Amino acid sequence: MDKVFELIQREQNRQNSTIELIASENFVSENVLKAAGSCLTNKYAEGYPGRRYYGGCEVVDELEEYCRQKWQQVFATDYHVNVQPLSGTHANMTAYAALLRPGDTILSLDLQMGGHISHGLPISMTGRLYNIEHYGLDSRGYIDMRSVEDMAKKTRPKLIIAGASAYSRIIDFERFACIAHENGALLMADIAHIAGLVAAGEHPSPFGHADIITTTTHKTLRGIRSALIFCKPEYAKKVDSALFPGMAGGPHMHTIAAKAVTAEEALTPEFRAYIRRVVENSRAMAAEFTRMGYEVVTGGTDNHMFLLDLTDAGLTGKQVQEALDGAGITLNKNCVPGDRRSPFQTSGVRIGTPAVTTRGMKEAEMKQIAALITRVIREGEGCLPEVKQEVLAICAKHPLYADCVCD
């Protein structure tokens, strides 16, 4: 056991001493950690509240119902919610199983243009089970709604997905819904990246437009790594049976407890202020890169992330990611629209501000971090020791957890 806790301590030290810019990562509260590490991990509870296959479920029944109610409050919705999915991809696959048959057509954003693997990459299970068609971006890097409409008319999908993993602008869920329903399709909104913004009123909501909505509970929601499925009431039975017994057995009750804590936190005024700062920080850093002569895809951002196009810098996203790792700054390589490089190399990087904002960093630090990244890009390995020291100084001013997680 000593080895395991040694590795946990090393990972905590890494998180404490690095600047985290991966858009899908964040730091949970100590209360979320406590719930996730509670005795609820011991309890098996196949089924749903009041309809379990095991005894001794009176407490977890109440917990799951409480969790469901809190998430409906977070998004101010009467949609049915299932809190048992284990991850975003698990939630998406469950949604497909509930609404589609193998061979049905799904219309989604191309992965190379900011989509997600679970939305229909040929080698993924989605791509194997369903016929996948894609819409794309316009010349500015925005979702091409005319392309969505044309492809919907041409391919007659059963499901249209509005959602992305690397897209920095507002998604027009209302127009997506009009296009889907006019062409006999259902609309699924995957808001995994922007759920925190939707909850805080910083992004238009898909509720009332989409037929089914999936989201993770980490990223901008700043909770445990897990997921939720919302749907209009008429699809509730299909969704619930698709998940259990269709796609899972016993739910992870310790995770559901942590999701309930996450929902409680998302209902506070402090969370709304946090999300506003996330967006402000993202815009500030994107503007600073633009000022320094870099190309930011779409010219800016409306949310928690943006893509930096490195084509003119003569470097790949992989090279920049690896160089920054050496300086204590973590981000991820990412394809940019029209990228000719492979996903393993890429011509860009994705930068997100949820984690640094959780640490209390503001616009001044965003400009400082942009300058450090620029220095690494332009000067290379020779500057890494000096940049690393500056990173450590920034992190020391913005500590994470007061006590060691593994104490």
Catalytic-labelled residue, pool 219, 232, 259, 350: 219
* 219 catalytic per annotation: yes
CA distance 129 to 120: 9
Does 140 qualify as catalytic in the annotation? no
What's at 193, amino acid-wise? H
Catalytic residue among 190, 240, 288, 309: 190
Given 89, 216, 255, 262, which residue is catalytic? 216
- Catalytic annotation present for 265: no
Which of 158, 169, 222, 225 is catalytic? The answer is 225
Catalytic residue list contains 78: no
Residue 190 bears catalytic tag: yes
- Reply yes or no on whether 54 is catalytic: no
- Reference 96, options 184, 159, 47, 178; nearest CA is 159
Which of these is catalytic: 44, 66, 142, 401?
44
Task: Write the secondary structure of the chain as one string of H (helix), E (strand) and C (coil).
Answer: CHHHHHHHHHHHHHHHCCEECCCCCCCCCHHHHHHHCCHHHHCCCCEECCEECCCCCHHHHHHHHHHHHHHHHHCCCCCEEECCCCCHHHHHHHHHHHHCCCCCEEEEECHHHCCCHHHCCCCCHHHHHCEEEEECECCCCCECHHHHHHHHHHHCCCEEEEECCCCCCCCCHHHHHHHHHHCCCEEEEECCCCHHHHHCCCCCCCCCCCCEEEEECCHHHCCCCCEEEEECHHHHHHHHHHHCCCCCCCCCHHHHHHHHHHHHHHCCHHHHHHHHHHHHHHHHHHHHHHHCCCEEHHHCCCCCEEEEECHHHCCCHHHHHHHHHHHCEECEEECCCCCCCCCCCCCEEEEECHHHHHCCCCHHHHHHHHHHHHHHHHHHHHHHHHHHHHHHHHHHHCCCCCCCCCC
Catalytic residues, which ones? 44, 46, 190, 216, 219, 225
